[in-house]
Amino acid sequence: MTDAVLDPELSQDVGGSDVPLIELTIGQQLAETTERFGDNEALVDVPAGRRWTYDELLQDVRRLASGLLELGLRKGDRVGIWAPNRWEWFLTQFATAEVGLVLVNINPSYRVHELEYALVKSEVRCVIAATEFKDSKYAEMLEEVMPRCDDLEKVVLMESDDFAALMRTEISPELPAIAASLTQHDPINIQYTSGTTGFPKGATLSHRNILNNGYFVGETIHYTDADRVCTPVPFYHCFGMVMGNLAVISHGACTVIPGPAFKPDEALKAVESEKCTSLYGVPTMFIAELALPDFESYDLSTLRTGIMAGSPCPAEIMRKVIDRMHMEEVSICYGMTETSPVSMQTRPDDSLERRVGTVGRALPHVEVKVVDPTTGDPVPRGEVGEFCTRGYSVMLGYWNDEEKTTEAIDADGWMHTGDLAVMDEDGYAQITGRIKDMVIRGGENIYPREIEEFLYTHPDIVDAQVVGVPDPKYGEELMAWVKLRDGVSDLTEEQVREFSEGKLSRHKIPRYVHVVDEFPMTVTGKVRKVDMRAQAVEMLGLA
């Protein structure tokens, strides 16, 4: 953390806190939490009908860790996990940490070539996987790639006798000595970026990275041991395993798994039946929940908080979540996998304007700045630049990729995010888009987020995404992809133009409008604008 005095006129800030960083391993933290809250419920898997107190969870985690040792795995070995959200995933996360194994999160939607890439790149020795999920035949795909993965020695399917045997293992007498050999700085997790552009890169994270990030996210929304957190976001992603699982166990709270993958009705049923106090989701998940025909029938009165993250949150959706879902203390988080993930977060006592118009301010012990992408110098407050962050949360690097690591993290330890941001006089930031998403039309810089926010105010539009497409006269033109409310089948360019006249500058009015049922998405709910552009070029004949 810097000791320098910051110029208040420039876009830079440090998240202050009287609470020190946690200097424990994840295993030590779980043991400490269990010591304090052993009888508290720690985990509920709703569809599996299973529950654990902290005392029970710690015993099962240590049994599974001992089983992994029986397989010959040792500190630093990589263990892949490939499954949707289920109790086995949760236990594996903590069991690998208990003995210093590096957990490699594999995207549940991966196909063979992506799976092989992650396993080979990370030199995975063992994979713990579901047999199948939806149309993904995990066992078959693993059998196919195993001969081409030189380091892969063992596949354990969660539904098999092999996994049951791991769970029945006697707790190894080696565990205390192994735990004593670990440090909070050891790598513990490799998370492959969702790949909205290019090939995924393996962000390598330590105990210290992710335990502290989860803890301070939970602190910021006032978690206690009385909280029950409904987590329909994927465990394989930082949102689920850090902001969810680690925020929970560092406070003695309870994780509620509503289902293996997100379904809006299952999430709300779990909130009601388990009396959850917190609900997580990307904006598209909250949109889907609010759109349920029987939404009003769910008792959501126990909710007080939750987190929206993963992509920019439309202001109208935020207001509905507060007003209709009882989530008065809902928080927006902003960050990226490479920063564990959260850098900025809104506070429960922030004004509504702050909470719908910004991504908050710096998380405790995190430095942030907004810089000129060309010079790297902080820009004056109120001006657009690239968001950068530094501190405990920045990853150790990309696994086996020094070149990409050096491109992302500069010599002074600043992570360059590629996101465009504006910081106000109080340190609150707005994310205005990606450097790569910015549209330059006739020499004018246009930020799609601004146009999207405006389109949400159209009575027939429930979701909107804006991209730039090639244009021979202006270089680029704007194209809006829109999802319409039930009962409305079409929306024309002329109708959008009429709605926008006098409200948007003429150069910001989309030239093209495309009505869709769904946007191209990653599994974590991020819109793949790179796919939208490619499809737009083809459908409009602009190649």
Structural tokens at position 256: 């509620």
Bridge partners, residue 202, by sequence: 192
Structural tokens at position 537: 């070029």
Rounded distance between C-alpha atoms, residue 51 and residue 39, angstroms: 12
Cis peptide before 283 (omega within 30 of 0): no
pLDDT, position 337 = 93
Rounded distance between C-alpha atoms, residue 415 and residue 337, angstroms: 11
CB-based contact 296:255 (threshold 8 Å): no
Please state the separation of Cα 93 from the chain's center in Å.
Answer: 16
pLDDT, position 195 = 47
DSSP state, residue 339? G
| Half-sphere exposure in the Cβ direction for 167 (13 Å, CA) | 18
Rounded distance between C-alpha atoms, residue 507 and residue 401, angstroms: 41
Count of residues making up the chain: 543
Alpha helices by DSSP H, 182-260:
207-220, 238-240, 247-249
Coil, helix or strand at residue 361: strand
Coil, helix or strand at residue 184: coil
DSSP state, residue 186? S
Whole-prediction pTM value? 0.85
pLDDT by position in tens, the chain (length 543): 555 578 999 999 999 999 999 999 999 999 999 999 999 999 999 999 999 999 999 999 999 999 999 999 999 999 999 999 999 999 999 999 999 999 999 989 888 988 999 999 999 999 999 999 999 999 999 999 999 999 999 999 999 999 999 999 999 999 999 999 999 999 999 999 854 445 679 999 999 999 999 999 999 999 999 999 999 999 999 999 999 999 999 999 999 999 999 999 999 999 999 999 999 998 889 999 999 999 999 999 999 999 998 766 777 888 899 999 999 999 999 999 999 999 999 999 998 888 888 999 999 999 999 999 889 999 999 999 999 999 999 999 999 999 999 999 999 999 999 999 999 999 999 988 778 787 888 777 787 888 998 999 999 999 999 999 998 888 899 999 999 999 999 999 999 999 999 888 888 999 999 999 999 987 667 788 889 999 999 999 997
Residue 331 φ/ψ, nearest 5 degrees = -125, 145
Q: What structural domains does the chain harbor?
A: 25-423 (3.40.50.12780), 437-540 (3.30.300.30)
